[in-house]
Amino acid sequence: MKFLRWFVFSSAFVLALSAVAASLQTPVDLRTEYAVNPLGLEARAPRLSWKLQSQQRGARQSAYQILVASSVDQLRRGQANLWDSGQVKSDQSIQVPYRGTALASRQSCAWAVRVWDADGQPTAYSEPATWEMGLLEATDWTAGWIGWPAGWIGRALYFRCDFDVKAGVKAARVYVAGVGYHDLHLNGAKVGDHVLEPGYTDYAKRVLYATHDVTAGLRAGKNTVAAVVGNGWYGMAKLLLQLEVTYADGTRETIATNGARPGGNERWRVTNGPIVMNSVFDGETYDARLEKPAWDQPGGDARQSNLDRSALWLNCMPVEPPGGRLVSQTSEPIKVVDTLACVGVVEPKPGVFVFDTGQNLAGWAELRVAGPRATQVSLRFAESLYPDGTVNQENLRAAAATDTYILKGEGRETWQPRFTYHGFRYVQLEGFPGKPALDTLAIKRVRSAVAPNGTFECSNDLLNRIQRMIWQTEGSNLHSVPTDCPQRNERMGWMNDLTVRLEESLYNFDLARFYTKFLNDVTDTQAADGSITDTAPFKWGKRPADPVSASYLLMGWFLYQYYGDTSAMAAHYNGFKGWVDFVAGQAVDHIVPYGSWGDWSPPASESVAGSAGAGAIAKSTPLPLMSTGYLYYTADLLAKMAGVLGKADDARRYAELAGKVREAFNRKYWNEAVGGYGSNNQACNAFALFLGVVAEKNVPRVVASLVADVEKRGGHLSTGNLCTKYLMETLTNHGRADVAYRIATQETYPSWGFMLANGATTLWERWEHLTKGGMNSHNHPMMGSVSSWFYKDLAGIQSDPAVPGFKRIVIRPRVVDGLSWVRASYTSMYGVIRSDWRKENGAFTLKVSVPVNSSAAVHLGGALGGTITEGGKPVVIAHRADGARSIELGSGDYELVAR
């Protein structure tokens, strides 16, 4: 039935619907490929998701119907001309693939969904959502790359093009790829709020283009499209832009770089301008005297800078394309996500002013200044100070991290850089005319605009401060790739760090699209022999990557576990297999004999060089032990993925490989005499336990070794970036959450509390407090895996691996002695999950929220022995086949009390 009398699109229709008495409310928060009303999709079968709400407990969907039309109007009129799914009996409310008419480039789609509850009662149709397809075929591009290879090296390029538009514009889109970074302007205004665009890729393989709706910015008559393009990660400025204007009569005109409309007379012009130096690492220099008034407005090319008359608008040249395939940027753009005021400013030397932002972060400062023309103000960014109060930039290595602004001298001037970013807490201002005020600088926090996804709080404020520190660190290192650090001359997507960072980041931010993008970056590094590289895009480290880079497969696996996403796993399956085969091919008798970094950066006394400044390779955690363990881990993951994807032969083959590696690992590294693995240190034992390769009978001995070592160190860890995660998790999973808690709550070296006690607001790269150069970042997420332990274990929010995407939630809080309450939430694709427990007056209370259309199994450990009530009534405890006991909950809010 296509006649939509039950639509809720306008209040006029509301009446017709209200008679429905379904336990479910109208679906909300419609997403297409994870995004709200995206443009530029390239997925041929976009995946649709919605959220459900209900006043009742245990509410779930029994069927859905999706309608897709080529416009909202058509959808409103009930013409689902692209797809009417009909009633589909299914409880699937996320990742439902579009199965309608094949979608062509630029196709607009509007969709709505209704669902049936468990009793077969339908809801009304949702409000419509939309998506639009991008440019799917190479032939859709008439634009060519333009630039100015004839000089001005290091300066940003300013491009512009005048064009006429007739009356009757229905829609207009700009598809733009300006590398390294670009800023798009239309008729004198910046288009949108993206910065540092496009996302960083290997431009020889893949260049991202952004899609903007510019319908509202066009006017009948004369228009100007313009762009400033900087070096970014590409190193020089090149622009490709295609502006498509669709008129009400259905005709389309295209204004394209290096191409003219038939009969059109557009000319692309280029010049230099006030951005005289721009570099991701070094900063930006802006000479405001070189501004060209109205440069991005019709007629603006006739007016030149009042200083530099030689900088004329010249005809652009066609330039060599970067080489990569043009791919739509569908992950979140980088944006200024927050503006902060500084917390203090001091003058350690005459004329030298040091601003304190109060926290380490990634971004830049906006300068407000008034003074004589040609005054030069510099801003130097740093994470720490010298004892004399001036900024210490030693640990930024070769990154100059300095912005310079030269005043035009025309009253109050406000400026922020465009094509650089810094990792900093302090900003040193020099050359400022007069005395700056606190609000001379406004601090801009800049990152991929991914949504925060989790909250965690507990009764021990130290853990809350650790959680904030980790959140800040992760949030400083999401810049279209998961960077290792935001400040020094590095900022690379390190695969080894990511192996343990993934879960922490997924609990704290919604990274479905971010990792979908980054997976492509990693696969782009893959060579014919299956090897991937240490960093993606590959600029740093080695090929082949250290075998600890399980992050490659884990991204696919966790997209499945956290978002119920099988597409990423399927798309990269061959890549994963290539990597596992490559590492397996390096093995001798199933032992991988090499590694590069292993359990990197343990406490200085545990590392090879013995001193903090130099080597960070763990001296007692053999590299081959780590590499072999990871071969087992990835072979096992691949077998699981093959199982999910229905590749039975591979599932068997890689399970067998995993089995052989496991045997070899035990043969080589199990030490019967001491009851531990390798050197019997924390890292080796925790890793073996985490992998699950320890023979059942040996588990208690290994756990005992682990606990003994922690005790011997007064409750401290001795692990590096990777095994710290496994230490916390295995202690917890083997009944020693108390020991893990003791490690987490240390304030003496080495610990997270020690970082805080020494003034850290973001995580350090080393456990030591270092102030010099070398390998010494103060904003390094790799040590932050303890945050996922907060969510997964202290709050106990997990997804059931067998029913992924948090369709079935496991709530298993580890109730440790030192804590009297924990309160956490995680926003899943079904809605917000909450776990909130408290010990009080001999009772244990757990409040749980389970989103509609999902369910939860609550494990209360020891408390299950006592009486458990919910709303005053005893609850049923399920005895499961595996011997575990749990309370099974449908959706809703619950308050369980155990006494």
Contact residues toward ligand BGC (CB under 6 A) are 484-485, 490, 494, 496-497, 597, 600, 782
Minimum CB separation of residue 249 from ligand BGC in Å reads 56
Q: Under a CB-based contact definition with an 8 Å cutoff, are residues 686 and 726 in contact?
A: yes
Nearer to ligand BGC, 275 or 485 (CB): 485
Minimum CB separation of residue 502 from ligand BGC in Å reads 14
Minimum CB separation of residue 567 from ligand BGC in Å reads 29
Q: Which of 92, 130, 127 is nearest to 6 (CA)?
A: 127
Question: What dihedral angle (degrees, nearest 10) is formed by the CA atoms of 485, 487, 490, 492?
Answer: 40
- Name the one residue in this structure whose structure tokens are 């405001």: 288
Distance from C-alpha of 131 to C-alpha of 231, rounded to nearest angstrom: 32
Strand duo 670-671 + 892-898: pairing? unpaired
Nearer to ligand BGC, 22 or 723 (CB): 723
Nearer to ligand BGC, 206 or 491 (CB): 491
- Structure token digits, residue 218: 């066009």
Minimum CB separation of residue 494 from ligand BGC in Å reads 4
Beta bridge partners of 49: 31
Minimum CB separation of residue 480 from ligand BGC in Å reads 17
Minimum CB separation of residue 490 from ligand BGC in Å reads 6
Q: Under a CB-based contact definition with an 8 Å cutoff, are residues 755 and 777 in contact?
A: no
- SS3 for 656-687 is HHHHHHHHHHHHHHEECCCCEECCCCHHHHHH
Strand duo 61-69 + 88-89: pairing? antiparallel
Nearer to ligand BGC, 122 or 423 (CB): 423
Nearer to ligand BGC, 126 or 496 (CB): 496
Nearer to ligand BGC, 85 or 551 (CB): 551
Nearer to ligand BGC, 257 or 776 (CB): 776
Minimum CB separation of residue 782 from ligand BGC in Å reads 5
Nearer to ligand BGC, 568 or 625 (CB): 625
Nearer to ligand BGC, 295 or 600 (CB): 600
Minimum CB separation of residue 557 from ligand BGC in Å reads 21
Minimum CB separation of residue 617 from ligand BGC in Å reads 9
Nearer to ligand BGC, 297 or 496 (CB): 496
Nearest-CB residue to ligand BGC?
Answer: 484
Distance from C-alpha of 397 to C-alpha of 599, rounded to nearest angstrom: 24
Residues 6+ apart with CB under 8 A from 469: 752, 755, 756, 760, 761, 762, 763, 784
Residues 6+ apart with CB under 8 A from 548: 496, 499, 595, 597, 598, 626, 627, 630, 722
Cα-to-chain-centroid distance, residue 118: 36
Distance from C-alpha of 833 to C-alpha of 851, rounded to nearest angstrom: 6
Residues 6+ apart with CB under 8 A from 801: 561
Minimum CB separation of residue 349 from ligand BGC in Å reads 32
Q: Which of 358, 364, 406 is nearest to 381 (CA)?
A: 364
Residue 349's SS3 state is strand
Nearer to ligand BGC, 287 or 497 (CB): 497
Minimum CB separation of residue 73 from ligand BGC in Å reads 52
Strand (E) or helix (H) holding 639? helix 623-644
Distance from C-alpha of 454 to C-alpha of 445, rounded to nearest angstrom: 19
